[in-house]
Amino acid sequence: MFIAGKLLTMALLPTALLVECVVLGLLLRRWRAGRVLAALGAAGLAACLLLPVDGWAIRPLEDRFPQVARPPPTIDGIVVLGGGIDDLTSLDRGTPVLTSAGNRITSFVILANRYPKARLVFTGGSGSIVQGVSNEARYAREMFDQLGLAPERVTFENRSRTTWENAVMTAALVHPRPGERWVLLTSAAHMPRAVGVFRRAGWSVLPWPVGYLSRDRIAAWPQSLGGKLATLDWAVHEWIGLVAYRLEGHSSALFPAPVPGPAAG
What is the DSSP annotation of 66-132?
Answer: ---SS--S--SEEEEES-SB-HHHHHHHTS--B-TTTHHHHHHHHHHHH-TTSEEEEE-----SSTT
Instruction: Compute, in degrees rounded to 10, the torsion defined by CA atoms 195, 196, 202, 205.
Output: 10
Degrees (nearest 5) of the Cα angle 41, 224, 88? Answer: 95
pLDDT of the chain, 265 residues: tens digit per residue: 656 666 677 777 888 888 889 999 999 989 999 999 999 999 998 898 888 899 999 999 999 999 999 999 999 999 999 999 999 999 999 999 999 999 999 999 999 999 999 999 999 987 666 666 688 999 999 999 999 999 999 999 999 999 999 999 999 999 999 999 999 999 999 999 999 999 999 999 999 999 999 987 776 666 667 888 899 999 999 999 999 999 999 999 999 999 875 444 5
If one counts every other C-beta atom within 10 angstroms of the C-beta of residue 167, the result is: 27
The residue ranges of every structural domain in the chain are 2-51, 70-212
CATH class of this structure's domain 70-212: alpha beta
| Side chain identity at residue 106, one-letter code | T
Closest CA to 188 of 63, 72, 56: 63
Instruction: Compute, in degrees rounded to 10, the torsion defined by CA atoms 59, 63, 16, 44.
Output: -20
**Cα 102 vs. chain centroid, distance in angstroms?**
11
If one counts every other C-beta atom within 10 angstroms of the C-beta of residue 29, the result is: 13
pTM for the model stands at: 0.89
